Structure 1
Amino acid sequence: METAQSRQQAAQPGALTAFARFVLCGGGVGLASSFAVGALASWIPWALANALITAASTLLATELHARFTFGAGGRASRRQHAQSAGSAVAAYAVTCMAMLALRQLAAAPDPLLEQVVYLSASAFAGVARFAVLRLVVFARNHAQTADTLRGPRHLPATVARTPAPADPAQLCHAA
């Protein structure tokens, strides 16, 4: 009899398939985000535009990764959104540092150069994010892995528990 857990495990993609889907979903959202940041940054400061777009794109990407990339079989949980947000904060820091470095090197960089730097930093952060999402956020058998790390919970089936006799004198006669 096949359990729901074994069906879910069978539906979960391998590392290469998951990475290809991650690149498709995350890369698509990231590419759209890069243009959105550029457009929004013409009205508000770049760091604020990046923060707003990062928040929105992280919500969207986490849902796509839960449903499609890692085969979690449904919507992302609050825990998964929170953990994904943590990795997105790190990605945000990487993209901000890259853009600040660019601005230190060129006072008025060409928009094409800005896109290349931003997308390169995003790709670097994306590879790290894939590892975090696969190994932590959408890890297979999350509860089972935690149980394995904690060790066995019960006695082996071969050990039988017998109630202690009410009268200590019966201990000698029990055998």
Structure 2
Amino acid sequence: MESARSRHESAAPGAFVAFTRFVLCGGGVGVASSFAVGALAAWIPWMLANALVAVVSTLLATELHARFTFGAGSRATVRQHAQSAGSAAAAYVVTCAAMLVLQMLVTAPGALLQQAVYLSASALAGVARFAVLRLVVFARTRSRAATATPGPRPLYASSGRIAAPTGPEELCRAA
């Protein structure tokens, strides 16, 4: 009998639906993060503020993606958090590099320009993260459901006897 969890896993969303959910969940967390970085940067160095916000937002976003975006329907595993953290570390490097380039090009950038640069860098990194999360981090959840579907009849029966080949491809495999 099929469990509710395996039924839910087999109903993983398609790429378009997953990307839409990713944008809504991850984008919402990203926008909130940009304001949090700006607020924290008033008290601590920007790089440290970005690092702290990146950690908290990554944990939150990974949970949202596990539960809603990629159809896992349950909490993210430690492995998924660790893999997601790797992609978030790359996003952190991208946002820091963008802000450093901005500081080198503009002597005193205003808050609006800083937000625009930060959000643009985050969006670019976000598209790359979507690919990593969908194809690597949460791919195992989808592949488990795919492997649960019955495949071709096995060559050996469960009783240990050899089953008679039913077609030319099984004859080739039996040889």
Q: Which string of whole-angstrom CA distances, capped at 9 and with x for unpartnered residues, describes residues 75-113 of structure 1?
A: 000000000000000000000000000000012111100
TM-score scaled by length of structure 2: 0.80
Count of aligned residue pairs for this structure pair: 154
Q: Does 1:64 align with 2:69?
A: no
Question: Which residue of structure 2 lines up, in the alignment, with residue 37 of structure 1?
Answer: 37
Match of 2:89 in 1: 89
Counterpart of 1:85, as a letter, is: A
1:99 maps to which residue? 99
TM-score, normalising length: structure 1: 0.80
Alignment partners' CA distance in 1, 2:25 and 2:142? 23
Structure 2: which amino acid aligns with 1:83? Answer: Q
- Note the C-alpha offset of 1:8: 2.5
Superposed displacement of residue 156, structure 1: 2.9
Partner of 1:20: 20
**1:145 shift after superposition:** 8.0
State whether residues 10 and 146 of structure 2, in contact with CA within 8 Å, keep that contact through their aligned partners in structure 1: no
Measure, in 1, the Cα distance between the counterparts of 2:143 and 2:91: 24
Identity %, equivalent residues: 70
2-structure distance, mates of 1:46, 1:35:
12
Task: State the structure with bigger RCO (CA 8 A, min sep 6), 1 or 2.
Answer: 2
Whole-Å Cα distance in 1 between the matches of residues 10 and 146 of structure 2? 17
- The structural deviation recorded for 1:74 is 0.6
For structure 2, list consecutive stretches of 5 or more residues without a partner in the other structure: 148-153, 163-175
User: RMSD across aligned C-alpha pairs, in angstroms?
Assistant: 2.2
Shift in Å, 1:126: 0.2
Instruction: Say which SS state the counterpart of residue 134 (structure 2) adopts.
Output: helix
| Structure 1 unpaired stretches of 5+ | 147-154, 163-175
Structure exhibiting the larger radius of gyration computed from Cα positions:
1
Match of 1:70, as an amino acid? F
Q: CA deviation at 1:67?
A: 0.6
**Whole-angstrom CA distance in 1 between matches of 2:117 and 2:11:** 37
Question: Any residues of structure 2 matched to 1:103-118 within 5 Å, and which?
Answer: 103-118=103-118
Q: What letter is aligned with 1:134?
A: R
Q: Distance in 2 between matches of 1:112 and 1:143?
A: 45
In structure 1, the partner of 2:155 is 156
